[in-house]
Amino acid sequence: MKKEIFQVTTVFIGTIVGAGLASGQEITQFFSTYGLMGFTGLLICCLIYIVTCTSIVDISQKYSLSSYTELINKVGGGYFGKLTELFTSFFLISGAAIILAGSGALVNQYFGVSKWLGIFIMAIVALIVLLNDTKGFIFVNSFIVPALVLTIVLIFTIYIIFFRHSISLDSLIQAREYKTYNFHGMWFLSTLLYAGFNILSFTGVLVPLSKEIKSKRHFIYGIFLGAIILTIISLMINLLLTSNIPNIFKYEIPLLYIANHFKGPLEVLLLIIIWCEMFSTEISDVYSVGKTMEKKYNIPYKKCICIILAIAIPISQLGFKRLITILYPLFGFVSVLFIIKIFIFKKNEVN
């Protein structure tokens, strides 16, 4: 595989996986509680990722854009552009806060120590890596993402071998009964919102990265491969979680409940991988906003990342599960409007 394709693939997966998906909390809220339709939703997400992200790469390279604010203003402009830009910056900072909260929840749930310890460990390590600019987060994803894929596949395989009795068509169908609001078509709306905020999150890295990687073909191959691998991982996680409803609702980190079935080294390995994937998205979110602040306000990049982390730490105190439940659907709605704007812009270009 070409080096550039591998880099785009790993950055794509690493940015989107983040705290919510790696922990299982996102998949639980947006897909698992819809039973069989949740699997359909994940497949639709894959298609949305590929079509939208390739369009963003095309626009970014064609107009030499270097930050998500430039893309938003190019595609949207006016009041919508300013509102979307504001929401995107707030979303990425909130995303960084969510991951800090996730690190705190992970340490607290597994070790029983203060959440502050997990928060500060994540913040300090992120700061160290981010001081190395673009090379730092590309290097980190190149190691973390393959490890994540192998670990999820391993856990899924072992679970299927030893606990396949817990997986049945009835359990997948009955999963819908645990959703407090589940009107007809809700699963599709949930899919759009989930795909939307993930694309908005990745856009922050995608646009500046389009200046680093010049080959459009390699970029698109990387996005396609990343979307396929990410979808396979998500389907595996969703099957594991759906088969363990309603027990997973008791945990902020549902995937750790699955790991409890194994105990020993495999449980510790999953714990490490979840934390590393949280870390991967943490540095991506902070990097995105940092690059935008540097470009727009002429503030040194290193000072920007310190400011962003200083803002994210207090927000993280709202709690991991609560932040995902409240903020992700809201940002997903704004993101869907932004995606529509991208397709309208592309259509007008053709005409």
On whether residue 150 sits in a domain, the answer given is yes
Cis amide bond preceding 246, omega within 30 = yes
What is the sign, positive or negative, of the torsion defined by CA atoms of 282, 288, 290, 293? Answer: negative
Give the least confident one: 176-180, 195-199, 225-229: 176-180
116 in any annotated domain: yes
Interval 66-107: pLDDT, tens: 888 888 888 877 777 778 778 778 878 888 888 888 888 888
pTM of the model: 0.83
Interval 219-245: pLDDT, tens:
999 999 999 999 999 999 999 888 888
Alpha-carbon span 236 to 252, nearest angstrom: 19
Mean pLDDT, the chain, integer: 83
Decide if 312 is inside a domain: yes
Are 205 and 284 in contact by the 8 Å Cβ rule? The answer is yes
- pLDDT > 60? residue 179: no
Task: Give Cα 255 to chain centroid, integer Å.
Answer: 16
The confidence score (pLDDT) of residue 119 equals: 92
| pLDDT band, residue 183 (cuts 50/70/90) | low
The structural domain count of the chain equals 1
**pLDDT at 4 exceeding the cut of 90:** no
Domain containing 167 — which CATH number?
A: 1.20.1740.10
Residue 45 is assigned to a structural domain of this protein = yes
User: How many residues appear in the chain?
Assistant: 351
Tens digits of residue pLDDT in 318-349? 776 676 677 777 777 888 888 898 999 988 87
State in Å, rounded, how far the first CA of the chain is from the last one. 36
Which residue carries 């203003």 as its tokens? Answer: 73
Averaged over 40-47, what is the pLDDT? 95
| Residue-wise pLDDT tens digits, 100-147 | 888 888 888 778 889 899 999 999 999 998 887 667 767 777 888 888
Q: Is residue 350 part of a domain?
A: no
Q: 335 in a domain, yes or no?
A: yes
From 20, 95, 104, 23, select the one nearest 317 (Cα to Cα). Answer: 104
Contacts of residue 221, Cβ cutoff 8 Å, sequence gap at least 6 = 2, 5, 8
Range of the domain at 49: 3-345
Judge whether 351 lies within some domain: no
Give the pLDDT score at 145: 84
Residue 216 inside a domain? The answer is: yes
Which residue reads 């409007």 in tokens?
337
